[in-house]
Structure 1
Protein backbone atom coordinates (compact mmCIF):
# COMPACT_ATOMS: atom_id res chain seq x y z
CA UNK A 1 0.00 0.00 0.00
CA UNK A 2 1.18 3.51 -0.69
CA UNK A 3 1.52 6.19 1.96
CA UNK A 4 -1.32 8.08 0.26
CA UNK A 5 -3.56 5.04 0.53
CA UNK A 6 -2.83 4.50 4.23
CA UNK A 7 -3.32 8.18 5.03
CA UNK A 8 -6.70 8.14 3.29
CA UNK A 9 -7.72 4.95 5.12
CA UNK A 10 -6.79 6.48 8.48
CA UNK A 11 -8.86 9.55 7.63
CA UNK A 12 -11.87 7.34 6.90
CA UNK A 13 -11.31 5.50 10.19
CA UNK A 14 -11.18 8.80 12.07
CA UNK A 15 -14.54 9.77 10.58
CA UNK A 16 -16.05 6.45 11.67
CA UNK A 17 -14.71 6.96 15.19
CA UNK A 18 -16.12 10.49 15.26
CA UNK A 19 -19.59 9.28 14.23
CA UNK A 20 -19.55 6.58 16.92
CA UNK A 21 -18.52 9.09 19.58
CA UNK A 22 -21.23 11.53 18.49
CA UNK A 23 -23.77 8.74 19.01
CA UNK A 24 -22.50 8.24 22.58
CA UNK A 25 -21.51 4.60 22.02
CA UNK A 26 -18.41 2.69 23.08
CA UNK A 27 -16.75 0.47 20.52
CA UNK A 28 -18.01 -2.73 22.17
CA UNK A 29 -21.57 -1.38 22.21
CA UNK A 30 -21.45 -0.62 18.50
CA UNK A 31 -19.94 -4.04 17.82
CA UNK A 32 -22.84 -5.67 19.66
CA UNK A 33 -25.36 -3.73 17.55
CA UNK A 34 -23.59 -4.80 14.37
CA UNK A 35 -22.99 -8.39 15.42
CA UNK A 36 -19.24 -7.93 14.86
CA UNK A 37 -16.19 -8.70 16.92
CA UNK A 38 -15.03 -5.64 18.88
CA UNK A 39 -11.66 -6.04 17.20
CA UNK A 40 -13.21 -5.30 13.79
CA UNK A 41 -14.63 -2.00 15.02
CA UNK A 42 -11.21 -1.13 16.39
CA UNK A 43 -9.39 -2.00 13.16
CA UNK A 44 -11.77 0.06 11.04
CA UNK A 45 -11.57 3.08 13.34
CA UNK A 46 -7.78 3.00 13.45
CA UNK A 47 -7.26 2.59 9.72
CA UNK A 48 -5.93 -0.95 10.07
CA UNK A 49 -8.56 -2.55 7.82
CA UNK A 50 -10.32 -1.39 4.66
CA UNK A 51 -14.12 -1.38 5.06
CA UNK A 52 -16.50 -2.57 2.37
CA UNK A 53 -19.47 -0.51 1.20
CA UNK A 54 -21.72 -2.86 3.20
CA UNK A 55 -19.60 -2.26 6.33
CA UNK A 56 -20.06 1.50 5.97
CA UNK A 57 -23.79 1.19 5.37
CA UNK A 58 -24.15 -1.02 8.42
CA UNK A 59 -22.08 1.41 10.52
CA UNK A 60 -24.21 4.40 9.55
CA UNK A 61 -27.51 2.62 10.09
CA UNK A 62 -26.45 1.15 13.43
CA UNK A 63 -25.92 4.76 14.57
CA UNK A 64 -29.26 5.81 13.05
CA UNK A 65 -27.28 8.04 10.64
CA UNK A 66 -28.36 6.85 7.21
CA UNK A 67 -27.79 10.44 6.08
CA UNK A 68 -24.00 9.98 6.20
CA UNK A 69 -23.94 6.90 3.94
CA UNK A 70 -23.19 8.93 0.78
CA UNK A 71 -20.35 10.72 2.59
CA UNK A 72 -18.79 7.45 3.78
CA UNK A 73 -19.17 5.81 0.38
CA UNK A 74 -17.49 8.84 -1.17
CA UNK A 75 -14.55 8.53 1.20
CA UNK A 76 -14.24 4.86 0.27
CA UNK A 77 -14.28 5.73 -3.44
CA UNK A 78 -11.48 8.22 -2.81
CA UNK A 79 -9.60 5.50 -0.96
CA UNK A 80 -9.97 3.22 -3.96
CA UNK A 81 -8.53 5.92 -6.20
CA UNK A 82 -5.47 6.16 -3.96
CA UNK A 83 -4.96 2.43 -4.39
CA UNK A 84 -5.47 2.53 -8.17
CA UNK A 85 -3.04 5.37 -8.81
CA UNK A 86 0.49 4.12 -8.15
CA UNK A 87 3.11 6.83 -8.33
CA UNK A 88 6.25 5.88 -10.26
CA UNK A 89 8.24 8.05 -7.86
CA UNK A 90 7.30 5.75 -4.98
CA UNK A 91 7.31 2.47 -6.91
CA UNK A 92 10.76 3.05 -8.35
CA UNK A 93 12.39 4.80 -5.41
CA UNK A 94 14.81 1.87 -5.06
CA UNK A 95 15.16 1.20 -8.79
CA UNK A 96 13.31 -1.09 -11.23
CA UNK A 97 14.00 -4.36 -9.45
CA UNK A 98 10.91 -4.41 -7.20
CA UNK A 99 8.44 -3.42 -9.92
CA UNK A 100 9.78 -6.14 -12.20
CA UNK A 101 9.23 -8.72 -9.46
CA UNK A 102 5.59 -7.58 -9.29
CA UNK A 103 5.35 -8.06 -13.07
CA UNK A 104 6.67 -11.61 -12.71
CA UNK A 105 4.04 -12.44 -10.09
CA UNK A 106 1.21 -10.89 -12.11
CA UNK A 107 2.21 -12.91 -15.16
CA UNK A 108 2.43 -16.13 -13.15
CA UNK A 109 -1.10 -15.53 -11.86
CA UNK A 110 -2.62 -14.86 -15.30
CA UNK A 111 -3.82 -17.28 -17.98
CA UNK A 112 -4.45 -14.79 -20.81
CA UNK A 113 -2.61 -11.49 -21.23
CA UNK A 114 -3.70 -9.01 -23.87
CA UNK A 115 -1.69 -5.88 -24.50
CA UNK A 116 -1.22 -2.86 -26.71
CA UNK A 117 2.11 -1.10 -27.16
CA UNK A 118 2.22 2.12 -29.15
CA UNK A 119 5.87 3.16 -29.29
CA UNK A 120 8.04 0.34 -27.96
CA UNK A 121 8.36 -3.43 -28.01
CA UNK A 122 6.37 -5.19 -25.24
CA UNK A 123 8.52 -6.21 -22.26
CA UNK A 124 7.55 -9.86 -22.70
CA UNK A 125 9.13 -9.83 -26.16
CA UNK A 126 12.22 -7.71 -25.49
CA UNK A 127 15.76 -8.97 -25.94
CA UNK A 128 18.09 -8.49 -22.96
CA UNK A 129 19.99 -5.74 -24.79
CA UNK A 130 16.87 -3.81 -25.73
CA UNK A 131 15.50 -4.15 -22.17
CA UNK A 132 18.82 -2.98 -20.74
CA UNK A 133 18.64 0.27 -22.74
CA UNK A 134 15.02 0.84 -21.68
CA UNK A 135 15.87 0.42 -17.99
CA UNK A 136 19.04 2.52 -18.18
CA UNK A 137 17.24 5.37 -19.94
CA UNK A 138 14.29 5.29 -17.58
CA UNK A 139 16.58 5.32 -14.53
CA UNK A 140 18.33 8.41 -15.89
CA UNK A 141 15.02 10.11 -16.72
CA UNK A 142 13.53 9.44 -13.28
CA UNK A 143 16.82 9.99 -11.45
CA UNK A 144 16.52 6.70 -9.56
CA UNK A 145 19.14 4.08 -8.63
CA UNK A 146 20.26 1.99 -11.61
CA UNK A 147 19.37 -1.63 -10.81
CA UNK A 148 19.41 -2.54 -14.49
CA UNK A 149 21.02 -5.97 -14.37
CA UNK A 150 18.60 -7.25 -11.72
CA UNK A 151 15.69 -5.75 -13.64
CA UNK A 152 16.79 -7.37 -16.91
CA UNK A 153 17.20 -10.73 -15.17
CA UNK A 154 13.64 -10.54 -13.83
CA UNK A 155 12.26 -9.46 -17.20
CA UNK A 156 13.91 -12.47 -18.83
CA UNK A 157 12.56 -14.72 -16.08
CA UNK A 158 9.12 -13.33 -16.73
CA UNK A 159 9.45 -14.37 -20.38
CA UNK A 160 9.60 -18.02 -19.33
CA UNK A 161 5.80 -17.75 -19.14
CA UNK A 162 5.72 -17.58 -22.96
CA UNK A 163 6.44 -21.32 -22.98
CA UNK A 164 3.84 -22.27 -20.37
CA UNK A 165 1.16 -24.41 -22.10
CA UNK A 166 -1.46 -23.06 -19.67
CA UNK A 167 -1.02 -19.45 -20.82
CA UNK A 168 -1.83 -17.36 -23.91
CA UNK A 169 -0.52 -13.98 -25.06
CA UNK A 170 -2.35 -11.71 -27.48
CA UNK A 171 -0.51 -8.50 -28.30
CA UNK A 172 -0.96 -5.55 -30.62
CA UNK A 173 2.01 -3.38 -31.56
CA UNK A 174 1.70 -0.19 -33.57
CA UNK A 175 4.02 -0.14 -36.58
CA UNK A 176 5.63 3.02 -35.17
CA UNK A 177 7.18 0.87 -32.40
CA UNK A 178 9.16 -0.95 -35.10
CA UNK A 179 10.80 2.32 -36.10
CA UNK A 180 11.13 4.17 -32.79
CA UNK A 181 14.70 3.31 -31.87
CA UNK A 182 15.77 3.85 -28.23
CA UNK A 183 18.94 1.85 -28.86
CA UNK A 184 21.73 1.28 -31.38
CA UNK A 185 20.88 -0.09 -34.82
CA UNK A 186 22.52 -3.44 -33.98
CA UNK A 187 20.36 -3.87 -30.87
CA UNK A 188 17.24 -2.80 -32.76
CA UNK A 189 17.97 -5.24 -35.58
CA UNK A 190 18.29 -8.10 -33.08
CA UNK A 191 15.05 -7.00 -31.41
CA UNK A 192 13.14 -6.96 -34.70
CA UNK A 193 14.52 -10.39 -35.55
CA UNK A 194 13.15 -11.73 -32.27
CA UNK A 195 9.76 -10.17 -32.92
CA UNK A 196 9.71 -11.64 -36.43
CA UNK A 197 10.41 -15.12 -35.08
CA UNK A 198 7.71 -14.93 -32.42
CA UNK A 199 4.97 -14.72 -35.05
CA UNK A 200 3.36 -18.10 -35.52
CA UNK A 201 4.49 -19.54 -32.20
CA UNK A 202 1.96 -21.40 -30.14
CA UNK A 203 0.17 -19.41 -27.46
CA UNK A 204 1.40 -16.10 -28.96
CA UNK A 205 -0.81 -13.96 -31.18
CA UNK A 206 1.04 -10.88 -32.37
CA UNK A 207 -0.67 -8.27 -34.52
CA UNK A 208 0.97 -5.21 -36.07
CA UNK A 209 -1.24 -2.15 -36.60
CA UNK A 210 0.19 -0.66 -39.81
CA UNK A 211 0.69 2.95 -40.76
CA UNK A 212 -2.33 4.05 -42.77
CA UNK A 213 -4.71 1.47 -41.31
CA UNK A 214 -8.31 2.58 -40.95
CA UNK A 215 -9.08 2.50 -37.23
CA UNK A 216 -12.43 2.38 -35.50
CA UNK A 217 -10.58 4.01 -32.60
CA UNK A 218 -7.06 5.41 -32.46
CA UNK A 219 -4.51 3.89 -30.06
CA UNK A 220 -4.39 6.41 -27.17
CA UNK A 221 -1.76 4.77 -24.96
CA UNK A 222 -0.30 1.43 -24.00
CA UNK A 223 -2.30 -0.90 -21.75
CA UNK A 224 -2.23 -4.52 -20.59
CA UNK A 225 -5.25 -6.67 -19.67
CA UNK A 226 -4.67 -9.54 -17.22
CA UNK A 227 -7.44 -12.12 -17.69
CA UNK A 228 -10.64 -10.21 -16.91
CA UNK A 229 -9.52 -9.00 -13.50
CA UNK A 230 -7.01 -6.17 -14.05
CA UNK A 231 -6.01 -3.50 -16.56
CA UNK A 232 -2.66 -1.73 -16.11
CA UNK A 233 -2.13 1.63 -17.81
CA UNK A 234 1.16 3.51 -17.71
CA UNK A 235 1.49 7.29 -17.76
CA UNK A 236 4.66 9.33 -17.34
CA UNK A 237 3.99 9.99 -13.64
CA UNK A 238 2.02 6.98 -12.45
CA UNK A 239 0.56 3.57 -13.15
CA UNK A 240 -3.19 2.91 -13.04
CA UNK A 241 -4.44 -0.46 -11.80
CA UNK A 242 -8.06 -0.76 -12.89
CA UNK A 243 -10.21 -3.59 -11.55
CA UNK A 244 -13.76 -2.28 -11.99
CA UNK A 245 -16.02 -4.17 -14.39
CA UNK A 246 -16.81 -1.04 -16.42
CA UNK A 247 -13.11 -0.22 -16.85
CA UNK A 248 -12.26 -3.76 -17.92
CA UNK A 249 -15.11 -3.90 -20.44
CA UNK A 250 -14.08 -0.53 -21.88
CA UNK A 251 -10.46 -1.58 -22.39
CA UNK A 252 -11.52 -4.92 -23.83
CA UNK A 253 -13.61 -3.07 -26.39
CA UNK A 254 -10.66 -0.79 -27.21
CA UNK A 255 -8.44 -3.84 -27.69
CA UNK A 256 -11.00 -5.62 -29.90
CA UNK A 257 -11.51 -2.58 -32.10
CA UNK A 258 -7.78 -2.08 -32.59
CA UNK A 259 -7.27 -5.80 -33.21
CA UNK A 260 -9.65 -5.54 -36.18
CA UNK A 261 -7.13 -3.23 -37.90
CA UNK A 262 -4.01 -5.30 -37.20
CA UNK A 263 -2.06 -7.52 -39.57
CA UNK A 264 -1.16 -11.05 -38.50
CA UNK A 265 0.97 -13.91 -39.78
CA UNK A 266 2.82 -13.34 -43.06
CA UNK A 267 1.60 -9.72 -43.52
CA UNK A 268 2.81 -8.88 -40.00
CA UNK A 269 6.19 -10.46 -40.72
CA UNK A 270 6.37 -8.38 -43.88
CA UNK A 271 5.90 -5.18 -41.85
CA UNK A 272 8.59 -6.21 -39.38
CA UNK A 273 10.92 -7.17 -42.20
CA UNK A 274 10.42 -3.77 -43.85
CA UNK A 275 11.37 -2.02 -40.60
CA UNK A 276 14.39 -4.29 -40.26
CA UNK A 277 15.51 -3.50 -43.79
CA UNK A 278 15.29 0.24 -43.10
CA UNK A 279 18.08 0.07 -40.50
CA UNK A 280 21.47 1.34 -41.62
CA UNK A 281 23.79 -1.43 -40.43
CA UNK A 282 26.82 -0.35 -42.47
Structure 2
Protein backbone atom coordinates (compact mmCIF):
# COMPACT_ATOMS: atom_id res chain seq x y z
CA UNK A 1 0.00 0.00 0.00
CA UNK A 2 1.35 3.40 -0.93
CA UNK A 3 2.54 5.76 1.79
CA UNK A 4 0.44 8.61 0.40
CA UNK A 5 -2.65 6.42 0.42
CA UNK A 6 -2.12 5.31 4.02
CA UNK A 7 -1.45 8.87 5.16
CA UNK A 8 -4.67 9.99 3.51
CA UNK A 9 -6.65 7.18 5.09
CA UNK A 10 -5.18 7.95 8.51
CA UNK A 11 -6.09 11.64 8.10
CA UNK A 12 -9.65 10.71 7.13
CA UNK A 13 -9.89 8.49 10.20
CA UNK A 14 -8.71 11.35 12.40
CA UNK A 15 -11.38 13.61 10.92
CA UNK A 16 -14.07 11.02 11.62
CA UNK A 17 -12.83 10.62 15.17
CA UNK A 18 -13.01 14.40 15.57
CA UNK A 19 -16.63 14.38 14.42
CA UNK A 20 -17.43 11.62 16.92
CA UNK A 21 -16.24 13.75 19.88
CA UNK A 22 -18.64 13.38 22.78
CA UNK A 23 -19.97 10.03 21.56
CA UNK A 24 -18.35 6.71 22.39
CA UNK A 25 -17.38 4.23 19.71
CA UNK A 26 -19.88 1.77 21.14
CA UNK A 27 -22.79 4.21 20.92
CA UNK A 28 -21.85 5.31 17.40
CA UNK A 29 -21.54 1.69 16.29
CA UNK A 30 -25.06 1.02 17.60
CA UNK A 31 -26.43 4.01 15.68
CA UNK A 32 -24.74 2.82 12.51
CA UNK A 33 -25.59 -0.84 12.97
CA UNK A 34 -21.89 -1.74 12.80
CA UNK A 35 -19.56 -3.77 14.93
CA UNK A 36 -17.55 -1.50 17.23
CA UNK A 37 -14.40 -2.99 15.72
CA UNK A 38 -15.31 -1.43 12.35
CA UNK A 39 -15.59 2.03 13.91
CA UNK A 40 -12.21 1.49 15.54
CA UNK A 41 -10.54 0.33 12.33
CA UNK A 42 -11.94 3.21 10.27
CA UNK A 43 -10.81 5.80 12.81
CA UNK A 44 -7.35 4.23 13.04
CA UNK A 45 -6.92 4.27 9.26
CA UNK A 46 -6.87 0.47 9.05
CA UNK A 47 -10.06 0.17 6.97
CA UNK A 48 -11.26 2.34 4.11
CA UNK A 49 -14.89 3.48 4.52
CA UNK A 50 -17.26 3.58 1.56
CA UNK A 51 -19.23 6.64 0.45
CA UNK A 52 -22.28 5.07 2.08
CA UNK A 53 -20.31 4.60 5.32
CA UNK A 54 -19.26 8.26 5.32
CA UNK A 55 -22.76 9.53 4.67
CA UNK A 56 -24.09 7.34 7.48
CA UNK A 57 -21.35 8.61 9.80
CA UNK A 58 -22.17 12.24 9.09
CA UNK A 59 -25.85 11.63 9.84
CA UNK A 60 -25.08 9.55 12.95
CA UNK A 61 -23.03 12.39 14.50
CA UNK A 62 -25.74 14.92 13.65
CA UNK A 63 -23.80 16.70 10.87
CA UNK A 64 -25.27 15.47 7.58
CA UNK A 65 -24.02 18.58 5.78
CA UNK A 66 -20.46 17.28 6.17
CA UNK A 67 -21.14 14.21 4.01
CA UNK A 68 -19.86 16.01 0.90
CA UNK A 69 -16.64 17.02 2.64
CA UNK A 70 -16.01 13.44 3.73
CA UNK A 71 -16.78 12.15 0.23
CA UNK A 72 -14.27 14.61 -1.24
CA UNK A 73 -11.61 13.40 1.19
CA UNK A 74 -12.25 9.81 0.15
CA UNK A 75 -12.08 10.75 -3.53
CA UNK A 76 -8.73 12.40 -2.93
CA UNK A 77 -7.39 9.20 -1.39
CA UNK A 78 -8.74 6.93 -4.09
CA UNK A 79 -7.45 9.07 -6.92
CA UNK A 80 -4.18 7.26 -6.24
CA UNK A 81 -5.29 3.86 -4.92
CA UNK A 82 -8.34 2.27 -6.52
CA UNK A 83 -9.20 -0.95 -4.73
CA UNK A 84 -10.32 -3.88 -6.85
CA UNK A 85 -13.11 -4.51 -4.34
CA UNK A 86 -14.65 -1.16 -5.23
CA UNK A 87 -13.79 -1.10 -8.91
CA UNK A 88 -15.19 -4.56 -9.61
CA UNK A 89 -18.55 -4.13 -7.93
CA UNK A 90 -20.12 -3.90 -11.37
CA UNK A 91 -17.67 -6.28 -13.02
CA UNK A 92 -14.62 -5.90 -15.25
CA UNK A 93 -16.40 -4.19 -18.16
CA UNK A 94 -16.63 -0.70 -16.61
CA UNK A 95 -12.99 -0.94 -15.48
CA UNK A 96 -11.91 -1.66 -19.05
CA UNK A 97 -13.95 1.29 -20.34
CA UNK A 98 -12.27 3.64 -17.84
CA UNK A 99 -8.82 2.49 -18.96
CA UNK A 100 -9.66 3.06 -22.62
CA UNK A 101 -9.98 6.78 -21.89
CA UNK A 102 -6.33 6.91 -20.79
CA UNK A 103 -5.16 4.96 -23.84
CA UNK A 104 -6.99 7.35 -26.15
CA UNK A 105 -5.43 10.37 -24.41
CA UNK A 106 -1.89 9.05 -24.87
CA UNK A 107 0.52 8.86 -27.78
CA UNK A 108 3.49 6.97 -26.31
CA UNK A 109 2.58 4.04 -24.08
CA UNK A 110 5.04 1.79 -22.28
CA UNK A 111 4.19 -1.44 -20.50
CA UNK A 112 5.96 -3.98 -18.34
CA UNK A 113 4.34 -7.33 -17.57
CA UNK A 114 6.03 -10.26 -15.91
CA UNK A 115 3.16 -12.59 -15.08
CA UNK A 116 0.87 -12.83 -18.13
CA UNK A 117 0.51 -11.57 -21.67
CA UNK A 118 -0.19 -7.84 -21.58
CA UNK A 119 -3.87 -6.98 -22.09
CA UNK A 120 -3.42 -4.95 -25.29
CA UNK A 121 -2.07 -8.05 -27.05
CA UNK A 122 -4.41 -10.69 -25.61
CA UNK A 123 -6.63 -12.85 -27.79
CA UNK A 124 -10.32 -12.92 -26.81
CA UNK A 125 -10.06 -16.50 -25.51
CA UNK A 126 -6.95 -15.74 -23.45
CA UNK A 127 -8.54 -12.57 -22.08
CA UNK A 128 -11.65 -14.52 -21.07
CA UNK A 129 -9.58 -16.89 -18.96
CA UNK A 130 -7.69 -14.00 -17.35
CA UNK A 131 -10.91 -12.20 -16.44
CA UNK A 132 -12.43 -15.42 -15.12
CA UNK A 133 -9.45 -16.03 -12.82
CA UNK A 134 -9.61 -12.50 -11.41
CA UNK A 135 -13.40 -12.59 -11.03
CA UNK A 136 -13.00 -15.75 -8.97
CA UNK A 137 -10.21 -14.22 -6.88
CA UNK A 138 -12.10 -10.99 -6.14
CA UNK A 139 -15.54 -12.65 -6.05
CA UNK A 140 -16.79 -10.05 -8.49
CA UNK A 141 -19.55 -10.26 -11.13
CA UNK A 142 -18.54 -12.52 -14.02
CA UNK A 143 -19.33 -10.11 -16.87
CA UNK A 144 -16.84 -11.93 -19.07
CA UNK A 145 -18.47 -11.15 -22.42
CA UNK A 146 -18.64 -7.42 -21.69
CA UNK A 147 -15.06 -7.34 -20.37
CA UNK A 148 -13.65 -9.20 -23.37
CA UNK A 149 -15.55 -6.97 -25.82
CA UNK A 150 -14.19 -3.84 -24.13
CA UNK A 151 -10.61 -5.14 -24.19
CA UNK A 152 -10.80 -6.23 -27.84
CA UNK A 153 -12.40 -2.90 -28.79
CA UNK A 154 -9.49 -1.04 -27.19
CA UNK A 155 -7.03 -3.07 -29.26
CA UNK A 156 -8.25 -1.19 -32.33
CA UNK A 157 -5.86 1.55 -31.18
CA UNK A 158 -2.98 -0.71 -32.21
CA UNK A 159 -3.96 -0.15 -35.82
CA UNK A 160 -4.43 3.61 -35.67
CA UNK A 161 -1.50 5.85 -36.56
CA UNK A 162 -0.30 8.39 -34.01
CA UNK A 163 0.42 6.03 -31.12
CA UNK A 164 3.41 3.89 -30.22
CA UNK A 165 3.25 0.93 -27.86
CA UNK A 166 6.56 -0.08 -26.26
CA UNK A 167 5.73 -3.39 -24.56
CA UNK A 168 8.20 -5.46 -22.56
CA UNK A 169 7.33 -8.83 -21.04
CA UNK A 170 9.23 -11.42 -19.06
CA UNK A 171 9.60 -14.78 -20.78
CA UNK A 172 7.91 -16.39 -17.76
CA UNK A 173 4.67 -14.68 -18.81
CA UNK A 174 4.68 -16.75 -22.00
CA UNK A 175 4.62 -19.98 -19.99
CA UNK A 176 2.10 -19.09 -17.28
CA UNK A 177 -0.61 -21.77 -17.39
CA UNK A 178 -3.60 -19.53 -16.83
CA UNK A 179 -5.41 -20.90 -19.88
CA UNK A 180 -5.55 -24.27 -21.70
CA UNK A 181 -2.65 -25.11 -23.98
CA UNK A 182 -4.52 -24.50 -27.23
CA UNK A 183 -5.54 -21.03 -26.02
CA UNK A 184 -1.98 -20.20 -25.03
CA UNK A 185 -0.68 -21.49 -28.36
CA UNK A 186 -3.03 -19.17 -30.25
CA UNK A 187 -1.97 -16.37 -27.93
CA UNK A 188 1.70 -16.88 -28.78
CA UNK A 189 0.83 -16.83 -32.48
CA UNK A 190 -0.92 -13.53 -31.86
CA UNK A 191 2.23 -12.10 -30.23
CA UNK A 192 4.32 -13.00 -33.27
CA UNK A 193 1.85 -11.15 -35.46
CA UNK A 194 1.66 -8.16 -33.14
CA UNK A 195 5.43 -7.81 -33.17
CA UNK A 196 5.16 -6.96 -36.85
CA UNK A 197 2.81 -4.00 -36.37
CA UNK A 198 4.22 -0.57 -37.09
CA UNK A 199 2.80 0.77 -33.82
CA UNK A 200 4.23 -1.96 -31.58
CA UNK A 201 7.76 -2.56 -30.32
CA UNK A 202 7.71 -5.84 -28.43
CA UNK A 203 10.58 -6.90 -26.20
CA UNK A 204 11.00 -10.12 -24.22
CA UNK A 205 13.29 -10.41 -21.20
CA UNK A 206 14.61 -13.99 -21.45
CA UNK A 207 14.71 -16.24 -18.43
CA UNK A 208 18.21 -16.01 -17.01
CA UNK A 209 18.90 -12.58 -18.45
CA UNK A 210 20.74 -10.20 -16.15
CA UNK A 211 18.36 -7.49 -14.92
CA UNK A 212 19.12 -4.25 -13.12
CA UNK A 213 15.91 -4.48 -11.05
CA UNK A 214 13.87 -7.54 -10.04
CA UNK A 215 10.94 -8.19 -12.41
CA UNK A 216 7.89 -7.33 -10.31
CA UNK A 217 4.49 -5.68 -10.64
CA UNK A 218 3.06 -5.04 -14.07
CA UNK A 219 2.45 -1.41 -14.99
CA UNK A 220 1.68 0.99 -17.84
CA UNK A 221 3.17 4.43 -18.43
CA UNK A 222 1.04 6.91 -20.36
CA UNK A 223 3.16 9.67 -21.95
CA UNK A 224 5.18 9.88 -18.71
CA UNK A 225 2.21 11.73 -17.18
CA UNK A 226 0.57 8.72 -15.50
CA UNK A 227 1.67 5.33 -14.19
CA UNK A 228 -0.96 2.68 -13.49
CA UNK A 229 0.43 -0.13 -11.35
CA UNK A 230 -1.38 -3.37 -10.57
CA UNK A 231 -1.30 -4.92 -7.11
CA UNK A 232 -3.43 -7.75 -5.80
CA UNK A 233 -5.65 -5.46 -3.76
CA UNK A 234 -5.71 -2.31 -5.90
CA UNK A 235 -4.50 -0.32 -8.85
CA UNK A 236 -2.25 2.62 -8.11
CA UNK A 237 -2.81 5.65 -10.36
CA UNK A 238 0.30 7.79 -9.92
CA UNK A 239 0.52 11.16 -11.66
CA UNK A 240 3.17 12.99 -9.65
CA UNK A 241 6.48 13.62 -11.43
CA UNK A 242 8.59 11.72 -8.89
CA UNK A 243 6.54 8.51 -9.17
CA UNK A 244 6.27 8.54 -12.95
CA UNK A 245 10.02 9.17 -13.22
CA UNK A 246 10.66 6.18 -10.96
CA UNK A 247 8.53 3.88 -13.09
CA UNK A 248 10.18 5.18 -16.23
CA UNK A 249 13.56 4.21 -14.74
CA UNK A 250 12.22 0.76 -13.90
CA UNK A 251 10.86 0.36 -17.43
CA UNK A 252 14.13 1.53 -18.96
CA UNK A 253 16.09 -0.95 -16.86
CA UNK A 254 13.90 -3.89 -17.85
CA UNK A 255 13.76 -2.78 -21.47
CA UNK A 256 17.56 -2.79 -21.58
CA UNK A 257 17.50 -6.50 -20.65
CA UNK A 258 14.96 -7.41 -23.34
CA UNK A 259 15.54 -8.85 -26.80
CA UNK A 260 13.69 -7.59 -29.85
CA UNK A 261 13.03 -8.45 -33.47
CA UNK A 262 14.25 -11.82 -34.68
CA UNK A 263 15.65 -12.74 -31.24
CA UNK A 264 12.27 -12.04 -29.60
CA UNK A 265 10.53 -14.14 -32.25
CA UNK A 266 12.88 -17.03 -31.44
CA UNK A 267 11.88 -16.81 -27.77
CA UNK A 268 8.21 -16.84 -28.77
CA UNK A 269 8.76 -19.78 -31.13
CA UNK A 270 10.51 -21.72 -28.36
CA UNK A 271 7.61 -21.10 -25.98
CA UNK A 272 5.16 -22.17 -28.70
CA UNK A 273 7.09 -25.40 -29.31
CA UNK A 274 7.07 -26.12 -25.58
CA UNK A 275 3.26 -26.25 -25.68
CA UNK A 276 3.37 -28.98 -28.30
CA UNK A 277 5.54 -31.17 -26.12
CA UNK A 278 4.32 -34.00 -23.85
What TM bracket, shorter-length normalisation?
Answer: 0.7 to 0.9
**Post-superposition CA distance 1:192-240 (Å, at most 9, x none):** 0000111132010000000111111121211110112110111111110
Alignment equivalent of 1:252, drawn from 244, 248, 251: 248
Larger radius of gyration: 1
Alpha-carbon distance in structure 1 between the residues aligned to 2:248 and 2:116: 21
Q: Is the 8 A contact 1:8 1:79 kept in 2?
A: no
Q: Tell me the SS of whatever aligns to 1:278.
A: helix
Alignment equivalent of 2:214, drawn from 208, 218, 243: 218
TM-score of the superposed pair, with normalisation by structure 1: 0.73
Per the TM alignment, residue 46 of structure 1 is displaced from its structure 2 partner at its CA by: 5.4
Alpha-carbon distance in structure 1 between the residues aligned to 2:75 and 2:14: 10
Aligned alpha-carbon RMSD (Å) = 2.7
1:193 is aligned to 2:189: yes
Alpha-carbon distance in structure 2 between the residues aligned to 1:45 and 1:180: 46
Per the TM alignment, residue 118 of structure 1 is displaced from its structure 2 partner at its CA by: 0.4
Alpha-carbon distance in structure 2 between the residues aligned to 1:274 and 1:49: 52
Alpha-carbon distance in structure 1 between the residues aligned to 2:75 and 2:150: 31
Q: Tell me the SS of whatever aligns to 1:138.
A: helix
1:88 is aligned to 2:84: yes
Per the TM alignment, residue 44 of structure 1 is displaced from its structure 2 partner at its CA by: 10
Q: Tell me the SS of whatever aligns to 1:193.
A: helix
Q: Tell me the SS of whatever aligns to 1:113.
A: strand
Other-structure match for 1:182:
178
Q: Tell me the SS of whatever aligns to 2:186.
A: helix
**Structure 2: 5+ residue runs without aligned partners?**
1-7, 20-64
Per the TM alignment, residue 87 of structure 1 is displaced from its structure 2 partner at its CA by: 0.7
Quickly say closer, same or farther: Cα 1:91–1:167, change in 2 above 3 A. same
Alignment equivalent of 1:146, drawn from 139, 142, 145: 142
Quickly say closer, same or farther: Cα 1:197–1:46, change in 2 above 3 A. closer
Other-structure match for 2:269:
273
1:261 is aligned to 2:253: no
**Post-superposition CA distance 1:224-267 (Å, at most 9, x none):** 10112110111111110001100000100111111111000000
Other-structure match for 2:157:
161
Other-structure match for 2:57:
none
Alpha-carbon distance in structure 2 between the residues aligned to 1:160 and 1:200: 15
How many matched pairs?
224
Q: Tell me the SS of whatever aligns to 2:152.
A: helix
TM-score of the superposed pair, with normalisation by structure 2: 0.74
Other-structure match for 2:69:
47
Alpha-carbon distance in structure 1 between the residues aligned to 2:140 and 2:198: 38
